[in-house]
Amino acid sequence: MPAAPAIAGRSPPGSTEPVLRRVSQGRDGAVASTLELGDHRCDVSTRALVMGILNRTTDSFFDKGEFFHLDAFLRRADELVGAGADLLDVGGVKAGPGPEITEAEELDRVVPAIEALRRRFDLPLSVDTWRASVAKEAFAAGAVLGNDISGLADPDYLAVTAAAGASVVVTHIRLAPRVPDPEPEYANGDVLAAVEAFLVERAARAVSAGLRPQQVILDAGLDLGKTWQQSLILLRASDQLAALGHPLLLSASNKTFLGKLLDLEVTERREATVAAHALGITLGCRIVRAHDVLGTVRVRDVIAALLASGS
């Protein structure tokens, strides 16, 4: 098994006491306590939200197109909501390399799906897109969150989001979605400093565009322009990123860095994902994007009880 990387200035993996101390520090005010998703005002001081993943793609790395057709998509949505999802994230284009998906194709995938979900559930809906034009139509259809893994590459994204009164996920990425980045390098070898500076700048840009701090969500972008070791560093530093003044999203579910760490195929990463979610929530992540909603809800509820009992 590959060795987990050490983090400069911090205890090596396996030392739990510093992590527990940092959790206590987070309860004293470092972690954002409120999140706005449309008309929903969420207290996330100790309880994270679980975001169920819904892909209308033919080539998702995990479900391989199983839920592409709308009837299967809606059955999957029923399962996720029944398992306790707090919100649903709808995507029509996968993040990794693959065949070109036009704007029209993406719209055809996500807008009818969001309209159907809006009729079916009273839950916040997110659209996973980096195109401002798609986000605009998704907001009109009922989405209240734009999950943009491009790091606001589209210059119109924030204006569209602000005009709709929606919220945004600001994600760190080194290059761009769908562009391979197998050997990412960062100044002085410090991925955490690079990600933190990027997120601070993009969050300030979002607030300047008219969004409130509680409408701006940060995501370190695990696996997006990172080696598996860099993703581990960022996960373990979630408390530092959660202290930047905005809710922090964790997107680790079944990802490559977990497979590389334990030499697991994508279908074998459930327990590794649960462990990543547990650590992330403990260190201040307040939205967890998950395939296994039920398992993540159970982990979340245990940690919420522990954090609340110690406050």
**Which residues are known to be catalytic?**
255, 289
Amino acid at position 60, single letter: S
Amino acid at position 149, single letter: I
Task: Output the CA angle 131-136-138, nearest 5 degrees.
Answer: 95
Task: Output the CA angle 198-286-172, nearest 5 degrees.
Answer: 20
3-state helix, strand, coil in the chain (%, to 5): 45, 15, 40
Residues in the chain: 311
**DSSP character for 175?**
S
Neighbours of 13 (CB within 10 A): 14
Gap between the Cα atoms of 59 and 292, Å rounded: 19
Closest to 245 in 3D by CA, of 7, 26, 57: 26
* CB of 289 closer than 8 Å to CB of 256: no
Checking DSSP bridges between strand 87-91 and strand 125-128, what pairing results, if any?
parallel
Question: Phi, psi at residue 271, to the nearest 5°?
Answer: -65, -40
Gap between the Cα atoms of 218 and 123, Å rounded: 21
The secondary structure element, H or E, covering residue 189 is none
Task: Output the CA angle 178-275-4, nearest 5 degrees.
Answer: 75
